[in-house]
Structure 1
Amino acid sequence: MIGKTLGNRYEIVEKIGGGGMALVYKAKCTLLNRYVAVKILRAEFTNDKDIIDKFKKESQAAASLSHPNIVNLYDVGEENEIYYIVMEYVKGKTLKEVIKEKDILSLEEIIHYTKQIALALQHAHYNHVIHRDIKPHNILITEDSRAKVTDFGIALAATSSTITNMGSVIGSVHYFSPEQARGGYTDEKSDLYSLGIVMYEMATGKVPFEGDSPIAIALKHIQQEPVVPSELNPQISKGLEEIILTLIQKDQLSRYQNAQDLIEDVDKLKNDPSNNTLMNNINHEDSPTQIIPRIKEEDIKEMRKNPKKIKKRNNKVIVISAVMAALIAAGLFTFGLFYLSNFFRTGEVEVPNLLGMTIEDARVKAIEMDLRLTEEQTASNEVPANEIMDQNPSAGMKVRPGYSIIVKISSGPRQVEVPDLVYEDAANAPFILENQGLIAGVPSYEFSEFPNGVIIRQDPRAGTSTTQGSTVDYVISQGPEVVTFPMPNLVGFSIENAKNIIQDHGLQEGRVSEVDNDEHAKGIVIEQNFEAGTPVRENAIIDLVVSRGPQEVLEEETEIDVEIDDEEAEETSANNLTTKTVEIRLRGHEGIVNIEIKSIPDGGTIINTQHNIDQRGEIVEISLTGTGVKEYELFINNEKVDTIRIDFRR
């Protein structure tokens, strides 16, 4: 594959990686003259129509993503049964290599990488794309420590329900979720589970589940609880451990429900590493992408056979114990019925409907009904602040007097901190705001001393609290304002006066050249590079053409005889000078033309003059004086057009 060119533009340079489904090469894009990464589907999958279809469709889904923490996808192609994806080439290491080098990462490093990965997943999930193969091998760390998620090769649009392929499961067994192992429904929380496994590995240097086969590892994801990270790394932050354990819950509903909740808790942990109470918490190698059989109920039953055999040995003891326990329970049950019947004789209260009430009104109602309230605050964009949005038990149920009703009170829309956009490149502003749950407003533009494209002001200002989903407006610099004024007329002025005018207007003197001119006296300006009246800016460079006066005309065909002694005649005859007239036709030219003649071989300028075709016509006669045979180079407007050979002996 090395040396092969794909799509007539991607020249394969070297192999830089590979996985279970594809190989990755470094290539040079000959069209844009830059290096790219080309991922090529392994040959064993090129005859599998289902995988090829997924490869094409899912690559298109990944191409819709554009985020600083996601490797850009440039192109998708097929050539002679070679299926390839062209991506951004990132110079750096994989997170797996970083973990192998350091074994256990610091809290600051884990927070730094986790937030960036979560931001990438948030963007992908917002665009309805699930990665499904999050692992440290697919996270690139740039030389400036930026994390970039890559390899959306098995990513799937969020509307799809399974990750099966011909009865098998695609993914990296050490990192995929229990629902992936079962071949069940996958969603955004499946990616968050995999991120939790990655965090576990960063914090402990190990993955939570190992086994002799992919099936054995997958079963552990379904059935077995992992060793808590603090047992492997006693120095781990309690807050970090809580986040990891929440992410890797078996039940999807028990995990973080979206990347935004995870990002908020990570930010809290960053600001206060000793914080063990996080708002969004819920109660409580080498791992290539593989295709493995789906975990079936029979597999789980097989794993349970050995424990059942052990249990049989003690069946008799268990039966006897069960009989004794049943007799004791029957006695307690009889006593309990008698006790409870007396307890409930005090009467029952029907739970009122508190939904939609303000908390103040609900407290009054609870007192009237001889009930108590347990209050919980929850952010909501739909329910007004201070209003009850949920209750437990629900209205109409019967409870005893004094029972405590749990009510959830809306604290209003979720508040987020406005990020600092000032001095940021305007192109990054929408991503920065989106990551914080905010919306970029329509930018305005102003001239300023700051570079073009840099944000110079924002509203609301950085650090203030605002409602999630709010719009943030900002002003983009257009660079310093360019002030222009009409160019003064310099033609007809002496060169000294022209220079004074240039200086008075804040302009700069440029090149001054002289030409022969029949209409103006020597030292008078006859041309300027900016015409009078055209807009020019301060410090513009002004070039001038000055008259050298009329051209001196030599007599045609005039021989210059030098009187010398007879003894010296033979020796000096070669020094007689002759003047010849050369006729030059300026066909195809117009206006003022610069004519220059240089001698050969020394390159010295013999003639340098200007000719106005509109006034004098296209024929120019030039007089040259010399002896013997001479050659000259003819330049028109600084461009060589001919070589002239003159025999002055004739």
Structure 2
Amino acid sequence: MSLATPTATRPAAPPLPPGSTPATGYEILAHLARTGWLDLYDGWSEQRDCRCVVKVLRPDRRGEGRLAERLVREGRWLQRFTHPHLVRAYETFTSPEPLVVLETLAGETLAHLIDRLPRRAAAEDVAVLGVQLCSALHYLHGQGLLHLDLKPANVVVECARAKVLDLSVAHAPGTAPAGVGTFGYMSPEQARGGALSAAADVWGIGITLYELATGDVPFDIGATTDGTTDGTTDGATATGGEATDWYPQLEGPAPPVCARRRLPPALAAAIDGCLRPDPADRPSVSELSAALDATLRRHRRDTPEAG
């Protein structure tokens, strides 16, 4: 039996101050964000003479071996993977504390863009982003991994190029416990638990495009919690929000995207196809990419050139 203080009752620990050195060769410049189990910092790499992002366990979550393993595993994956639509990791440390050093991205998360932009994204931009997400997920699946947490907060858009973040709950296809992913975004099969396949990530692409196109998710997920959590769990260790036995995506199918936004029929059909409750009814990543690419070609053919 563990005698550790329960996470919910531990006092919130302050982030590291500027000037701290969490690992040799790295200096903290500023605190960027806090999730349910992580702190992210703007950092400086002496070796590379450039800024970087330092990702560490929150001080009040240190000593939780499962979380440390997740962080180190993610860092090693991102060091090994090379893809234009995946964030890169420079280094991964296991001591003195688990830590991952990532490249700095100058763009904004898709979640911030959705909240900030006064108008909804153009249909062409939705399709372009979808093709890029398909490319990243196709690569990950080729490496034997499912992402399982694709959502606007885990996509950064920089100079019209999307980069996917956060492999903290990624794992190989197969059986998984209920609740792997983010409440309101995970596929029905993730919410229920059981066999997971590439279709779960197709759902992730679809719900991300749905939110980009309409400004909202297809399900009523209620208010956010306290601003410090990301709502993500691995099905065994809660890392944001509370465990739940109720998921809105198990209550019924997603409303068609055309009920909330007029889109080209082929694009609307592609998004709706991703959100079919039965994973066997969803397109493959390759089929989805081809459908989105076809909508782009049709749009460009039908749109008169300026001038």
TM tier, smaller: 0.7 to 0.9
1:141 maps to amino acid:
V
Aligned ranges 1:512-523 → 2 under 5 Å: none
How far apart are the structure 1 equivalents of 2:61 and 2:215? Answer: 33
| TM-score normalised per structure 1 | 0.39
How far apart are the structure 2 equivalents of 1:201 and 1:159? Answer: 26
The one of 265, 271, 278 equivalent to 2:297 is: 271
Partner of 1:183: 193
How far apart are the structure 1 equivalents of 2:245 and 2:157? Answer: 27
Aligned ranges 1:56-205 → 2 under 5 Å: 56-80=72-96, 82-102=97-117, 103-142=119-158, 144-156=159-171, 158-162=172-176, 164=177, 169-205=179-215
Which structure 2 residue ranges, 5 or more long, are not aligned?
A: 1-15, 224-241, 302-307
Does residue 225 of the first structure (1) align with residue 253 of the second (2)? yes
RMSD: 2.3
How far apart are the structure 1 equivalents of 2:174 and 2:57? Answer: 22
Aligned ranges 1:120-519 → 2 under 5 Å: 120-142=136-158, 144-156=159-171, 158-162=172-176, 164=177, 169-212=179-222, 219-233=247-261, 235-257=262-284, 259-273=285-299
How far apart are the structure 1 equivalents of 2:58 and 2:180? Answer: 15
The one of 1, 4, 8 equivalent to 2:24 is: 8
How far apart are the structure 1 equivalents of 2:184 and 2:134? Answer: 19
More strand per residue: 1
How far apart are the structure 2 equivalents of 1:44 and 1:88? Answer: 25
How far apart are the structure 1 equivalents of 2:135 and 2:245? Answer: 29
Q: 1:310-355 CA deviation, whole Å, 9 max, x = no partner?
A: xxxxxxxxxxxxxxxxxxxxxxxxxxxxxxxxxxxxxxxxxxxxxx
How far off its partner does 1:176 sit?
Answer: 0.8
How far off its partner does 1:217 sit?
Answer: 9.5
SS at 2:102's partner residue?
A: strand
Which structure 1 residue ranges, 5 or more long, are not aligned?
A: 276-650
How far apart are the structure 1 equivalents of 2:244 and 2:253? Answer: 14
Q: Does the 8 Å CA contact 1:239/1:273 hold for their aligned counterparts? A: no
How far apart are the structure 2 equivalents of 1:215 and 1:46? Answer: 21
Distance 1:269 1:216, change over 3 A: farther
Q: 1:429-456 CA deviation, whole Å, 9 max, x = no partner?
A: xxxxxxxxxxxxxxxxxxxxxxxxxxxx
SS at 2:247's partner residue?
A: helix
Distance 1:223 1:274, change over 3 A: farther
2:286 maps to amino acid:
Q
How far apart are the structure 1 equivalents of 2:280 and 2:123? Answer: 27
Distance 1:116 1:71, change over 3 A: same
How far apart are the structure 1 equivalents of 2:101 and 2:116? Answer: 29
Q: 1:183-219 CA deviation, whole Å, 9 max, x = no partner?
A: 2222221111011011111111110111448778952
Distance 1:74 1:150, change over 3 A: same
SS at 2:94's partner residue?
A: strand
How far apart are the structure 1 equivalents of 2:219 and 2:281? Answer: 20
> Which has the larger Rg?
1
SS at 1:210's partner residue?
A: coil
Q: Does the 8 Å CA contact 1:211/1:217 hold for their aligned counterparts? A: no
How far apart are the structure 2 equivalents of 1:49 and 1:169? Answer: 20
Q: Does the 8 Å CA contact 1:173/1:217 hold for their aligned counterparts? A: no
Partner of 1:327: none
How far apart are the structure 1 equivalents of 2:210 and 2:129? Answer: 13
Q: 1:438-476 CA deviation, whole Å, 9 max, x = no partner?
A: xxxxxxxxxxxxxxxxxxxxxxxxxxxxxxxxxxxxxxx
2:296 maps to amino acid:
K
Aligned length: 266
Q: Does the 8 Å CA contact 1:210/1:217 hold for their aligned counterparts? A: no
1:152 maps to amino acid:
L
1:84 maps to amino acid:
L
How far apart are the structure 2 equivalents of 1:212 and 1:94? Answer: 21
Q: Does the 8 Å CA contact 1:29/1:35 hold for their aligned counterparts? A: yes
Q: Using the aligned pairs only, state the percent identity.
A: 25
1:98 maps to amino acid:
L
How far off its partner does 1:49 sit?
Answer: 2.2
Distance 1:180 1:159, change over 3 A: closer
Q: Does the 8 Å CA contact 1:237/1:274 hold for their aligned counterparts? A: no
How far off its partner does 1:274 sit?
Answer: 10
| TM-score normalised per structure 2 | 0.80
How far off its partner does 1:51 sit?
Answer: 2.8
Q: Does the 8 Å CA contact 1:17/1:23 hold for their aligned counterparts? A: yes
Greater relative CO, 1 or 2 (CA 8 Å, sep 6+)? 2
Partner of 1:452: none
How far off its partner does 1:273 sit?
Answer: 3.9
Q: 1:569-625 CA deviation, whole Å, 9 max, x = no partner?
A: xxxxxxxxxxxxxxxxxxxxxxxxxxxxxxxxxxxxxxxxxxxxxxxxxxxxxxxxx
Partner of 2:239: none
How far off its partner does 1:57 sit?
Answer: 2.8
Distance 1:154 1:216, change over 3 A: closer
Distance 1:105 1:176, change over 3 A: same
How far apart are the structure 2 equivalents of 1:4 and 1:106? Answer: 43
Q: Does the 8 Å CA contact 1:45/1:52 hold for their aligned counterparts? A: no
SS at 2:100's partner residue?
A: strand
Aligned ranges 1:582-601 → 2 under 5 Å: none
Q: Does the 8 Å CA contact 1:93/1:140 hold for their aligned counterparts? A: yes
1:74 maps to amino acid:
Y
Q: Does the 8 Å CA contact 1:62/1:155 hold for their aligned counterparts? A: no
Q: Does the 8 Å CA contact 2:148/2:201 hold for their aligned counterparts? A: yes
How far apart are the structure 2 equivalents of 1:176 and 1:94? Answer: 19
The runs of at least 4 aligned residues of structure 1 exceeding 4 Å deviation read: 212-218
How far apart are the structure 2 equivalents of 1:201 and 1:212? Answer: 15
How far off its partner does 1:6 sit?
Answer: 2.4
More helix per residue: 2
How far apart are the structure 2 equivalents of 1:154 and 1:205? Answer: 25
How far apart are the structure 2 equivalents of 1:224 and 1:217? Answer: 15
How far apart are the structure 2 equivalents of 1:104 and 1:190? Answer: 26
SS at 1:122's partner residue?
A: helix
Distance 1:206 1:216, change over 3 A: farther
